[in-house]
Amino acid sequence: MSTEEENKPVQQYSDKEKDAVFEKEFFPHINAMYNFAHRLTFDEDDAKDLVQDTFMKAYRFINSFQQGTNAKAWLFRILKNSFINDFRKKSKQPAKVDYQEVESYYNSEKVDKPITSDLRVESVQHMIGDEISNALNALEVDFRTVIILCDLEGFKYDEMAKILDIPIGTVRSRLHRARNLLKEKLRDYANKMGYK
Amino acid sequence: MSSLFSKLFGKMGNKECPERDKCLDILNMVLDGEASEEQKRYLNLHIDACLPCLNDYNLEKAIKELLLTKCSKIDVPNGLAEAIKSKLSEQVDQS
């Protein structure tokens, strides 16, 4: 959570109510949060820290959580911000490229062109978990993130827009590019395995 | 009628769909559960006749299913939830 507006209290909770919100609305998402954190950091300890930081921030800023709204999206947003603001900075592997740079690079024609012609449905269906997981993990973090949120976690575009602080149009175009890049990687795997 | 038909389906037998970008956009929205009824109808009609877009649809669908089923979920490490809960209760005590 970064700006004042985001942390503006919308609801006051008593200690008892806080406990109830954590127990009923926040903790049930710990599994999904840990998996998201692990796919961002690729490291068990880092993922644990990230999830713990997220819960601590959720506690500090709980008054900006409106009960009855989407707790999972709210928590994912904190987690993603923690990753960007705190974690990436102190990470052993700092982000190598600036996202703007990446986005403008991938804005080039090449990536926007459908590239499915030599990737067949059958090849994809023959793939085992490792290949798809490796292909996903090989994507630059911002592209990886939209696929995780949409395809693994089932968030809607408007929820993703809130989690990522970007307009819905950008969610869609980023998703489009991410999927093209993923297909490119899958096609490479398919070629390597001689599926074609 | 024929112009409407070609507008909807492109030229039959063509390897390329003239509206492929638009179709890709719509079929992703359909698969993501974000399409309007009108977009769903358009896609259903379209892929009945347009082979390249039917292939695209099947490919995107297969990849989406593969992601969901084959990207294995990792179990939360033992003790993490408990550790967080005890840290949280320290915060309560301090406040």
Alpha helices (runs of H) in chain A, residue ranges in sequence order: 15-21, 30-41, 44-60, 71-82, 88-90, 99-106, 109-112, 121-126, 129-137, 141-147, 157-164, 168-192
Quote the pLDDT of residue B2. Answer: 47
DSSP string across A145-183: HHHIIIIIT---HHHHHHHHTS-HHHHHHHHHHHHHHHH
CATH number of residue A154's parent domain: 1.10.10.10
How far apart are alpha carbons B26 and A149 in whole angstroms? Answer: 19
The model carries a pTM of 0.83
Render pLDDT for A106-158 as a digit per residue (tens, 0 to 9). Answer: 555 455 555 545 788 888 877 777 889 999 999 999 999 999 999 999 999 99
Lowest mean pLDDT among A159-163, B9-13, B65-69: B9-13
Phi-psi region of A167 (alpha: psi -120 to 50; beta: other; left: phi over 0): beta
Mean pLDDT within A86-96: 60
How many domains, in total, are found in chain A?
A: 2
Final residue before a domain boundary, out of A45, A73, A90: A90
Final residue before a domain boundary, out of A90, A117, A152: A90
Quote the pLDDT of residue B95. Answer: 58
Q: Which residues of B touch A55 (CB under 8 A)?
A: 84, 87-88
Q: What is the mean pLDDT of chain A?
A: 84
For residue A111, the enclosing domain spans 99-192
ipTM: 0.81
Mean pLDDT within A48-71: 94
Q: For chain B, positions 28-67, list CB contacts with chain A under 8 A.
A: 28, 32-34, 55-56, 58-60, 62-64, 66-67
Position A145 in a domain: yes
Final residue before a domain boundary, out of A90, A125, A152: A90
Position A7 in a domain: no
Quote the pLDDT of residue B1. Answer: 43
Distance from CA of B59 to the nearest CA of A (A): 5
User: Of residues B6 and A22, which shows the higher confidence score?
Assistant: A22
Is the same domain home to A51 and A116? no
Residue B20 belongs to what H/E stretch? helix B20-31
Is the same domain home to A60 and A121? no
Distance from CA of A121 to the nearest CA of B (A): 5
Distance from CA of A67 to the nearest CA of B (A): 19
